[in-house]
Structure 1
């Protein structure tokens, strides 16, 4: 009977307090790839723990040697709650994904009508006649777009432009939009007192840091930093991934651009923590079953 309680407590801990505490651990950002895996581990472990708590309680009551009406009722209620949690996740995922893809299709049609292709700028880049300096990518399977405004082209130096294009293409290659979509689903699926906005905000930042590092390897840290400051005045439209549309996060990203030292030990420890988080709820659920064999 202790297993469902422990799993429930773990689910609540990983959904709220843990993300808020982890978001304050700024040192983890120095290994952004491992940190992103850790955040995914926290999210997945929270879901596994929540579902496992209900299943563990249901099976514990149902497999009693002499089940009474109360035990059957508790097992049924536990299964119902588990089904509601899973159903809410799936429904939110469907609604979020449908809305985003419809938004991107509509935006893509507008871009194809209003944007100008300029191969001198870059292959597959669309330029919009707009004064505000903006750069963003619009993800899509085989139909992605990199978009620049005329204001951005007029203000960016050649090396800065190379950095911006490398940044946006890094987002598209890594499909950061799918990671952000998954965390948006988790954030919207549950009440605010359960879910934490810290996870979504931190994952957004880490995705930008990873794209920044790819761009810095291509064009250098200084041109990228200058480009990000230039683009800070603009904001990417909903459904896209922009280079610089968060002033607070931008300060952090520029500070992290100074990071040149590799941290293999920290990365290994962070990845190990992510793996341990996934093993923990699984062990709580599977352990009692194996012990009864």
Structure 2
């Protein structure tokens, strides 16, 4: 029965739980703690999936297969064990394949993108803001009608802005945007998004929830907002977000103008109390620890006794 509980827990953590958590707005108040909670849910789903497979294998190796196995466990439980084992095999194989493909393709795309922005970089300075930007390592200015700003993560990271953005924002707003993008690069938010992208693709569509990936994308933007407003204040960043809202991000993974309305409202709200963050971290520990221990310990004891015979 342990395999069934593991499989049920994995399905719950892959679909309904992320869908419910994505509707919560209190997570916006504590984006760092909320991101830890999302990671705990994702890791618990992976561990539960692996646990379902290991529990099924332990039954197959410690009990006689065929009719005796069916008679002992019944048709329904035997069917659930078979379906759970199949799901585990699919998810495990798909996760490693997808994770590898996502990593390879993402880095290849970033390399091409980095080479392209280096080639199209406008080197002549036409304003005081441009001169300050061009003196900083890794900043690239592109010519175009859209007001865009984004970063290209990696070993040779880039912060890409358009001259339309430079001409439409004040120097304080430009500095807020740059601080936002550099926060993404320092914290390597791209790696967090890669992990959730691979996990979302690994689970079958009828199980996985797009809400997890969308929520994590918004949370990393809010984390970068917090870093930016500590340097420049909330008002310049909020004005920049309003100005750049709805602008196309091109190939950017984390366009600065995405979900601007929610982020501006958050910047204008009161800071969250410390207790909310503490409770969120505690919830992450419970999500990751309690179900795993409650289901895994009995299974380990049963397997030990079966193998010791």
Given the two structures, how large is their TM-score scaled by the length of structure 2? 0.86
Change beyond 3 A, Cα 1:163–1:275: same
Which of 134, 150, 165 is the matching residue for 1:152?
A: 165
CA distance 1:68–1:93, change in 2 (3 Å): closer
Question: Per the alignment, do residues 280 and 131 of structure 1 end up closer, same or farther by CA in structure 2, a change over 3 Å counting?
Answer: same
After TM superposition, give the deviation of residue 290 of structure 1 in Å.
3.5
1:120 is aligned to 2:126: no
Kindly tell me: are residues 63 and 210 of structure 1, through their superposed partners in 2, closer, same or farther at Cα, counting changes over 3 Å? Answer: same
2:8 aligns with: 9
> Are 1:277 and 2:287 counterparts?
yes
2:182 is matched with which residue?
169
From the superposition, tell whether residues 191 and 81 of structure 1 become closer, same or farther in structure 2 (CA, over 3 Å): closer
Corresponding residue of 1:29: 28
Structure 1 residue matching 2:186: 3-state secondary structure: helix
Tell me if the contact between 1:100 and 1:239 (Cα under 8 Å) persists in the aligned partners: no
Once the two structures are TM-superposed, the CA of residue 150 in structure 1 deviates from its matched residue by 0.5
Please, which runs of 5 or more residues in structure 1 have no aligned partner?
none
Matched, 1:250 2:260: yes
CA change 1:71–1:45 in 2 (3 A) is farther
Q: Work out the CA distance in 1 between the residues paired with 2:260 and 2:44.
A: 30
Mapping 1:144-293, distance limit 5 Å: 144-244=157-257, 246=258, 249-283=259-293, 284-290=295-301, 292=304
Match of 1:19 in 2: 18
In the TM superposition, structure 1's runs of 4+ consecutive aligned residues that sit over 6 Å from their partners are: 71-78
Q: What is the DSSP-based 3-state SS (H/G/I as helix, E as strand, rest coil) of the residue aligned with 1:208?
A: helix
**Partner in structure 1 of residue 93 of structure 2:** 87
Deviations 1:126-171 (A, max 9, x none): 1001121110000002x00001100001011011011000000000
Q: Distance in 2 between matches of 1:54 and 1:243?
A: 41
Counterparts in 2 of 1:238 and 1:287: CA distance versus 1, 3 Å:
farther
Deviates more, 1:184-193 or 1:232-241: 232-241
Mapped to 2, the partners of 1:173 and 1:235 lie a distance apart of 24
Tell me, yes or no, if the aligned pair for 1:115 and 1:126 is still in contact at 8 Å: yes
Q: CA distance change for structure 1 residues 37 and 70 in 2, over 3 Å: closer, same or farther?
A: farther
In 2, the alpha carbon distance for the partners of 1:182 and 1:235 equals 25
Query: What TM-score results when the alignment is normalised by the length of structure 1?
Result: 0.90
Partner of residue 140 from structure 1, selected from 154, 157, 162: 154
Post-superposition offset of 1:76: 8.9
Query: What is the SS of the residue equivalent to 2:199?
Result: helix
Matched, 1:52 2:57: no
Range with bigger deviation, 258-267 or 106-115: 258-267
Pairwise CA distance, 1:94: 1.0
The alignment partner of 1:137 has SS state of strand
Aligned length: 286
- Aligned pair in 2 of structure 1 residues 199, 76: CA closer, same or farther (>3 Å)? closer
Indicate the larger mover: 186-195 or 73-82.
73-82
